[in-house]
Structure 1
Amino acid sequence: MDSSNLTTAEADFSKLSTNDKQELRQFIANENQKAVIQNSIHVLTDVCWRKCIPGAIRGGKLDKNEENCAQSCVERFMDAKFTFLAHLDKLRQQT
């Protein structure tokens, strides 16, 4: 393929040094990981909010039952996620 068929982004990428390309790949991987974590937090917030906060918040803060429910919900969610990830890691190591 001649360079005239490359898009601007590809042409610019091809001019980077090997080290710069690796740094860019690592940066993109890190940003993707951040996006996954942010999405998990949004899902967690939505699930626990719907489960634990049935109505309006009075007095500017959660009541004790709502607070306990939300804390338990987050803990269960995190425990389940870590258990799932540990299981996937174990499966990956077996392959």
Structure 2
Amino acid sequence: MDSLSTGNVDLTKLSDRDKQELQQFVVNESQKARIQGSIHSLTDICFRKCVPSKISSGKLDKYEEPCMQNCVDRFLDANHVVLKQLETLRTSS
């Protein structure tokens, strides 16, 4: 089996359109995986910051909930600033 074959499908026999669709599918799945990884990291960081002790009930307490919301908001704000800066750099070059 060559490097372009996978299982029972010979990728060299796909039409150009099918190859393009497959490539776009792989790109989309990769983006989903990166987003899920970011969400997992964000959850971990904010949880460690805002829930320092053992969980005593099924809900966040009155201090933990606003801390988590603020942590997520700051993360999103920071990402927004970075994206705006990258867009500015991209359009100026």
TM-score (norm 2): 0.88
Q: 2:90 aligned with 1:92, yes or no? A: yes
Across the aligned residues of Structure 1 and Structure 2, the Cα RMSD in angstroms comes to 1.8
The residue number in structure 1 matching 2:38 is: 40
**Higher strand proportion (structure 1 or 2):** 2
Report which stretch shifted further, 10-19 or 82-91: 10-19
The residue number in structure 1 matching 2:10 is: 12
Deviations 1:11-38 (A, max 9, x none): 8221100110010011001001101100
Tell me, in whole angstroms, the C-alpha distance in 2 between the residues paired with 1:74 and 1:8: 42
> Mapping of 1:1-95 within 5 angstroms?
6-9=2-5, 12-95=10-93
Where do 5+ consecutive residues of structure 1 fail to align?
none
Residue 59 of structure 1 and its aligned partner are, at CA, apart by 2.1
Tell me, in whole angstroms, the C-alpha distance in 2 between the residues paired with 1:25 and 1:72: 38
Partner of 1:36: helix, strand, or coil? helix
Q: What percentage of aligned pairs have identical amino acids? A: 54
Tell me, in whole angstroms, the C-alpha distance in 1 between the residues paired with 2:30 and 2:80: 19
* Kept in 1: contact 2:46–2:71 (CA 8 A): yes
Deviations 1:43-89 (A, max 9, x none): 10011011100111112111010000000000000110111111112
Residue 90 of structure 1 and its aligned partner are, at CA, apart by 1.4
Tell me, in whole angstroms, the C-alpha distance in 2 between the residues paired with 1:82 and 1:52: 22
